Amino acid sequence: MSRFYPDAPRAAVSVLCHRDGCALVVRRGKPPYKDHWSLPGGLIELGETLVQAAARELLEETGVTAHLGDPVETFDSIQRDADGRVATHFILTVFCGAYASGTPAAGDDAAALDWVLPGELDERLTTPGTPERVRRLLGGA
């Protein structure tokens, strides 16, 4: 099934990896939201659990691992085109975990990455809700 104009919502994961009060964010290299800063993540593969998908996507996009527990949030990401048709619909499950290991390097769908303080996200072009989500999950600005 295509990511664009799908027949049904696509299941995906997102990871808030944190270290020293900073969140690891990636600049998206592909649509949707190309060039927007976001939490690393992506689609769940057939036969993969949520946490396996989160760990895989984090490693593929950033080269790091994190101590992932239970999901902390689930939300819909729906974008419509100018005619009102659903262009994309993802159901995202978010995980939060402290950095464990690895040398951060942008990979896979990520064009760049950075460790940022929650308040620094307001100065960047981000995917909808990312600054608020990071502040809420890290507990501050």
C-alpha separations of 31 from 25, 67, 70, 117 in Å? 16, 28, 28, 25
72 located within any domain: yes
47 located within any domain: yes
What pLDDT digit, counting tens, does each position of 15-60 carry? Answer: 999 999 999 999 999 888 999 999 999 999 999 999 999 999 999 9
DSSP 126: B
Q: What is the pTM of this model?
A: 0.93
Domain count, the chain: 1
59 located within any domain: yes
4 located within any domain: no
99 located within any domain: yes
85 located within any domain: yes
Any idea what the CATH number is for the domain that residue 130 is in? Answer: 3.90.79.10
- Domain enclosing residue 36, as ranges: 10-138
